[in-house]
């Protein structure tokens, strides 16, 4: 307990009334390995003071902890003494101050509204802990009607996408110079066996062993990172900057600057075990192939795993299964159908060209990680036009390379341009032509989610035109945090939950809540492909109060007076993004983005929560979702 104010001095320290500290009265609290005293009833603490003059502005700040069998939560409460308090003592002796009240308390759960918020708005703060045995008891808001789309909570679609991307990566890995020449050599080893059945058995064991090796790698990554680390890996600057440099190293390796190889002792040890025969032979041969091909497959596997760590505990396992299935497939099929072995194309300089092309792609991917850190921490290093300029340069050089006008150290001389390289060059340079209008604000919807937000672009013709025609939508007051966050397509709205609720009550409109993030690819896709639809924009502009809540921002702090302890997480919340995540977890029982909520100012759900998977990037479904919410809102009885 600490006291501030005028007209008094403290005598001694605060003490508990009826607080028993004798040895026989101490209770062991073995959860945190300590002993505690006991109050026979309610805990009461007092402080003796000496009056030195007129008493005014007396404030007591109480700091402590509330502990259960599992955890402790901080308690911080400020008590103000009201004017006209009667002091039951003379100024000559130590006295107790009586008559304190809690009417003016600064709730440490952060219940004070922002100064720009209408205090009469119907706001419920149940996402904040109240320290009366309610911590952790969130009451999610639920839609009780039956109008509109059903909520989709499964992420099976995302796992399938991860699988197909990883499968494609495995097929690309087969075309690298470290792997492709080994396919006929390895398959020949099995089909030359005098015992055809044994050769077939060993070949299939070899193929399944490759799958097992990479799935084990994926399982280890899943165990190390887990679902809880996905958000940290996706948004924190440290892993993203690390991945940025790792991808540049991978690219340099593909360009021929050096080879990424594992210790030769590992390869030799596996090779010796592979020669022993039996079932163990093909298993160790698979390990040998994995080690020998690492200089080409390592960067590809690393790329797949880095992306997979962002998706939860199953994603790395699914990713490695997809990659290894494609990697093992030709070995298994050629063992079963050896006649097709003769039809494989011959090795040559084209294999090194595959590596160089992958190098350009790695550099482009590297920028995505630096961009994520740049957005979440507001560094403003890679704004949209800078990012696009770098991509234009990268893919222009790639097109020139495909035309044979740019060569690297390991490239062989080619007398003519092959037809496949010509078509690849045309495709690459066409992609560059597609990117160029983006420098002036073209939306580039095909790349939605992979480019920085349009709000980071300094020169945007569309935004200039929208601003000339006036802002889209009206706000009740100046939005908090508008210097740090922006809404797309010229929309106006809020970035603070309480302020948006207050405005919705004032305007008698429903609330559209967008849980989003800087590192959320699907959020950007929805904004560019769905929100941009004229019908959707019209509804958002005229019929809803728009609220965008970022859950991964690493810069914006709450005012100290609004710090609170989260009811769901039990943690002290000091950042705006953590507050937004607490709201999403407690009210809507979710931590995935994007998530779209339609709600009345009285916090009545108007539809089931929506996501990118719910709407499948279909603007018609999204517009229907918004219209159904309006129908439900208008059906709510008007309060007198």
- 8-29: average pLDDT: 65
pLDDT attached to residue 119: 37
Of 83-97, 468-482, 612-626, the poorest mean pLDDT is in 83-97
What is this structure's pTM? Answer: 0.62
- Check whether 44 has a pLDDT greater than 80: no
pLDDT attached to residue 502: 92
pLDDT attached to residue 94: 44
pLDDT attached to residue 2: 75
User: Above pLDDT 90, what percent of the chain?
Assistant: 23
pLDDT attached to residue 456: 84
Structural domains for the chain:
2-107 (no CATH), 156-348 (no CATH), 471-634 (3.40.30.10)
- 195-203: average pLDDT: 75
Tallying the residues shown for the chain, one arrives at 640
pLDDT in tens, 111-141: 333 333 333 333 344 687 755 444 556 778 8
- 243-254: average pLDDT: 88
CB 59 within 8 A of CB 15: no
- Check whether 392 has a pLDDT greater than 90: yes
Q: What is the DSSP letter of 346?
A: P
| Between 575 and 259, residue with greater pLDDT | 575
Look at residue 498 and give its three-state secondary structure. Answer: helix
pLDDT attached to residue 27: 57
Sign of CA dihedral 229, 234, 236, 242: positive
Look at residue 15 and give its three-state secondary structure. Answer: strand
Range picked from 214-218, 317-321, 553-557 for highest mean pLDDT: 553-557
Asked, as a colleague might, if the bond just before 594 is cis with ω within 30 of 0, I would say yes
Of 14-23, 288-297, 485-494, 629-638, the poorest mean pLDDT is in 14-23
Of 193-207, 384-398, 457-471, 473-487, the poorest mean pLDDT is in 457-471
pLDDT attached to residue 91: 40
- 168-195: average pLDDT: 72
pLDDT attached to residue 123: 38
- Check whether 246 has a pLDDT greater than 60: yes
- 407-435: average pLDDT: 90
- Check whether 520 has a pLDDT greater than 70: yes
Range picked from 216-220, 372-376, 440-444, 543-547 for highest mean pLDDT: 543-547
- 206-229: average pLDDT: 75
pLDDT attached to residue 197: 77
Q: What is the mean pLDDT of the chain?
A: 77
| Between 183 and 576, residue with greater pLDDT | 576
Look at residue 506 and give its three-state secondary structure. Answer: helix
- Candidates 495, 596, 494; CA nearest to 545 is 494
pLDDT attached to residue 149: 63
- 450 pLDDT band, cuts 50/70/90, is confident
pLDDT attached to residue 385: 93
- Candidates 107, 48, 112, 54; CA nearest to 80 is 107
Query: What contacts 559, CB < 8 A, 6 or more positions away?
Result: none
CB 282 within 8 A of CB 203: yes
pLDDT attached to residue 623: 94
| Between 628 and 54, residue with greater pLDDT | 628
Look at residue 225 and give its three-state secondary structure. Answer: helix
Sign of CA dihedral 456, 458, 461, 465: positive
Q: What is the DSSP letter of 94?
A: -
CA separation for the pair 181, 175 (Å, rounded): 9
For 275, list phi and psi in degrees, rounded to 5.
-80, -5
Helix (H) or strand (E) holding 281: helix 280-292
- 543 pLDDT band, cuts 50/70/90, is very high
pLDDT attached to residue 19: 57
- Check whether 348 has a pLDDT greater than 90: no
- Check whether 53 has a pLDDT greater than 70: yes
pLDDT attached to residue 96: 46
- 397 pLDDT band, cuts 50/70/90, is very high
pLDDT attached to residue 177: 66
Helices (H) and strands (E) in the chain, counts: 19, 13
- 198-204: average pLDDT: 78
pLDDT attached to residue 192: 64
- Candidates 384, 239, 362; CA nearest to 310 is 239
Interstrand relation of 511-516 and 95-96 (parallel, antiparallel or unpaired): unpaired
- 378-393: average pLDDT: 93
- 54-76: average pLDDT: 62
Query: What contacts 22, CB < 8 A, 6 or more positions away?
Result: none
pLDDT in tens, 262-288: 667 766 766 666 555 566 777 777 777
pLDDT attached to residue 155: 52
């Amino acid at each position: 307990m600490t006291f501030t104010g005028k007209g008094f001095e403290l005598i001694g320290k605060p003490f508990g009334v009826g607080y028993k500290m004798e040895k026989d009265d101490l209770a062991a609290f073995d959860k945190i390995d300590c002993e505690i005293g006991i109050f026979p009833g309610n805990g009461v603490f007092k402080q003796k003071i000496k009056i030195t003059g007129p008493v005014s502005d007396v404030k007591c700040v109480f700091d402590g902890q509330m502990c259960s069998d599992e955890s402790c939560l901080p308690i911080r409460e400020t008590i103000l003494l009201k004017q006209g308090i009667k002091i039951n003592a003379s100024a000559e002796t130590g006295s107790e101050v009586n008559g304190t009240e809690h009417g003016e308390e600064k709730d440490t759960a952060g219940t004070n509204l922002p100064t720009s918020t209408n205090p009469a708005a119907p706001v419920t703060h149940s996402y904040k802990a109240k320290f009366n045995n309610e911590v952790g008891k969130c009451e999610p808001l639920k839609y009780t009607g039956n109008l509109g789309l059903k909520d989709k909570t499964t992420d099976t679609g995302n796992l399938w996408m991860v699988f197909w991307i990883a499968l494609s990566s495995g097929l690309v890995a087969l075309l690298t110079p470290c792997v492709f020449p080994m396919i006929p050599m390895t398959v020949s080893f099995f089909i030359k066996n005098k015992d055809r059945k044994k050769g077939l058995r060993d070949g299939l064991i070899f193929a399944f062993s490759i799958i097992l090796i990479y799935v084990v790698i994926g399982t280890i990554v899943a165990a190390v990172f887990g679902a809880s680390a996905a958000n940290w890996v996706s948004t924190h600057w440290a892993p993203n900057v690390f991945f940025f440099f790792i991808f540049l190293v991978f690219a340099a390796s593909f360009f021929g600057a050096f080879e990424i190889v594992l210790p030769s002792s590992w390869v030799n040890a596996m090779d010796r075990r592979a020669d022993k025969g039996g079932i163990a032979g093909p298993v160790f041969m698979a390990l040998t192939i994995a080690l020998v091909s690492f200089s080409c497959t390592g960067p590809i596997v690393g790329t797949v795993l880095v992306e997979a760590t962002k998706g939860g505990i199953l994603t790395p396992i699914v990713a490695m299964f997809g990659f290894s299935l494609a990697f093992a497939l030709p070995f298994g099929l050629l063992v079963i159908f050896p006649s097709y072995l003769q039809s494989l194309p011959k090795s040559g300089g084209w294999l090194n060209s595959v590596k160089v092309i992958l190098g350009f792609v790695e550099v482009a991917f590297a920028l995505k990680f630096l961009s994520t850190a740049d957005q979440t921490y507001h560094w403003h290093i890679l704004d949209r036009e800078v990012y696009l300029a770098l991509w234009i340069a990268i893919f222009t050089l790639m097109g020139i390379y495909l035309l044979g006008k740019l060569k690297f150290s390991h490239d062989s001389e080619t007398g003519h341009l092959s037809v496949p390289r010509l078509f690849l060059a045309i495709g690459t340079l066409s992609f560059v032509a597609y990117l160029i209008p983006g420098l002036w604000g073209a939306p580039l919807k095909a790349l939605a989610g992979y480019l920085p937000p349009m709000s980071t672009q300094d020169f945007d013709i569309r935004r200039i035109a929208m601003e000339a025609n006036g802002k889209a939508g009206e706000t009740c007051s100046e939005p908090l945090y508008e210097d740090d966050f922006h809404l797309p397509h010229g929309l106006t709205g809020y970035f603070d939950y309480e302020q948006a609720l207050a405005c919705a009550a004032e305007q008698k409109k429903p609330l559209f809540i967008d849980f989003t993030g800087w590192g959320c690819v699907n959020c950007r896709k929805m904004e560019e492909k769905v929100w941009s639809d004229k019908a959707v924009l019209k509804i958002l502009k005229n019929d809803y109060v728009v609220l965008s809540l970022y859950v991964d921002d690493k810069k914006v702090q709450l005012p100290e007076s609004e710090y609170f302890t989260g009811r769901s997480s039990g943690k002290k919340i000091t950042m705006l993004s953590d507050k937004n995540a607490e709201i999403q977890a407690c009210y809507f029982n979710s931590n995935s983005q994007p998530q779209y909520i339609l709600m009345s100012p009285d916090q009545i759900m108007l539809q089931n929560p929506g996501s990118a998977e719910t709407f499948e990037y279909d603007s018609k479904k999204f517009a229907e979702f918004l219209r159904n919410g309006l129908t439900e809102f208008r059906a709510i009885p008007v309060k007198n």
